[in-house]
């Protein structure tokens, strides 16, 4: 009976959840619009007055022809026809680039700095992702469980030493949280700033956008043709992506269980928590 109640709750609570979702989207929309549109307007004004003339100066084109040229170049850039004479191996369909593309596909990060152009590669990409995404989730699940297992084991050992299980578990949990935060979010930007020349804030933003699998592709490692990237760096970043995603998945699962157990999202009685 508890099961059918939980199901009924999931039916009646959905409109409320949908309202929360839409309100949250509206909040995001307005804040992003407010923060970015003025900056975009400024830079657009700047580019119109300053950069346009500088570009017009070193070509022999009028504004309209230059506009067409720029659109043409961007179109070709987006469709993967690479004009630039020197790109890194990460930016081409070589071993490093293809490997990084495969990782970015099955982790669903999808930076999009490389994307398949031929129909065959696109079709293969679909089948590759269809099996690869679940495989990646299984591996992340396994890694997350392993990390939890070691933390719990350590908590048990600590509890035996301190003769206080609850406090030991609390210690171990917060230690795991903060060491993860340090290892996956606070230290990597230092590495990125030395290898990529990004600022600390940019590296932090890149770390979050990558590990949350959003992957806008505005920052991608290993793409600056003016820099040398050692092999250990690329491998370390791959390991960081894997373990960081597993850690962040644990955190996101924690937030999900907090959200789902919250009374706001499911108007059931307290005595009858809404879990199917």
Enumerate binding residues for K ion (CB under 5 A).
110, 215
Kindly tell me the sign of the dihedral angle through the C-alpha atoms of 226, 231, 236, 238: positive
Comparing CB distances to a second copy, the nearer of 157 and 162 is 157
Report, in Å, the least distance between residue 237 CB and a second copy.
14
Quick one: DSSP state of residue 199?
-
Report, in Å, the least distance between residue 204 CB and a second copy.
8
Report, in Å, the least distance between residue 161 CB and K ion.
44
Q: Specify whether the CB–CB gap between 274 and 13 falls below 8 A.
A: yes
Comparing CB distances to a second copy, the nearer of 120 and 163 is 120
CA distance 136 to 108: 9
Q: Specify whether the CB–CB gap between 92 and 230 falls below 8 A.
A: no
- Coil vs helix vs strand at 173: helix
Identify the CA nearest to 247 among candidates 188, 164, 197: 188
Comparing CB distances to a second copy, the nearer of 137 and 158 is 137
Report, in Å, the least distance between residue 109 CB and K ion.
5
Report, in Å, the least distance between residue 177 CB and a second copy.
14
Comparing CB distances to a second copy, the nearer of 112 and 162 is 112
Q: How buried is residue 99: exposed, middle or buried, by Cβ count under 10 Å (0-12/13-18/19+)?
A: middle
Kindly tell me the sign of the dihedral angle through the C-alpha atoms of 68, 71, 74, 78: negative
Interacting partner of 117 out of K ion, a second copy, none (Cβ under 5 to 8 A depending on kind): a second copy
Interacting partner of 115 out of K ion, a second copy, none (Cβ under 5 to 8 A depending on kind): a second copy
Report, in Å, the least distance between residue 238 CB and K ion.
17
CA distance 126 to 20: 33
Comparing CB distances to a second copy, the nearer of 106 and 168 is 106
- Coil vs helix vs strand at 236: helix
Interacting partner of 186 out of K ion, a second copy, none (Cβ under 5 to 8 A depending on kind): none
Comparing CB distances to a second copy, the nearer of 106 and 195 is 106
Q: Specify whether the CB–CB gap between 90 and 217 falls below 8 A.
A: no
């Amino acid at each position: 009976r508890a099961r059918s109640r939980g199901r009924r709750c999931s039916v009646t609570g959905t409109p409320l959840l949908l309202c929360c979702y839409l309100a949250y989207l509206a909040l995001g929309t307005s804040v992003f619009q407010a923060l970015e549109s003025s900056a975009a307007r400024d830079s657009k004004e700047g580019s119109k007055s300053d950069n346009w003339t500088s570009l017009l100066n070193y070509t022999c084109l009028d504004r309209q022809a230059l506009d067409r040229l720029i659109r043409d170049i961007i179109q070709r850039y987006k469709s993967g026809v690479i004009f630039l004479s020197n790109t890194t191996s990460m930016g081409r369909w070589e071993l490093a680039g293809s490997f990084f593309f495969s990782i970015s596909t099955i982790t669903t990060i999808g930076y999009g700095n490389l994307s398949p152009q031929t129909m065959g590669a696109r079709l293969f990409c679909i089948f590759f992702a269809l099996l690869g995404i679940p495989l990646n989730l299984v591996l992340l699940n396994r890694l997350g469980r392993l990390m939890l297992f070691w933390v719990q084991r350590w908590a048990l050992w600590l509890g035996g030493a301190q003769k206080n299980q609850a406090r030991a578990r609390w210690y171990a949990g917060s230690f795991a949280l903060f060491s993860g935060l340090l290892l996956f979010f606070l230290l990597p930007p230092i590495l990125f700033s030395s290898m990529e020349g990004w600022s600390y804030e940019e590296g932090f933003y890149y770390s979050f956008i990558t590990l949350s699998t959003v992957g806008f592709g505005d920052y991608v490692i290993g793409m600056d043709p003016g820099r040398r990237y050692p092999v250990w760096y690329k491998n370390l970043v791959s390991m960081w992506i894997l373990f960081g995603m597993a850690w962040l998945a644990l955190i996101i699962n924690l937030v999900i269980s907090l959200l789902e157990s919250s009374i706001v999202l499911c108007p059931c009685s307290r005595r009858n928590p809404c879990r199917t």
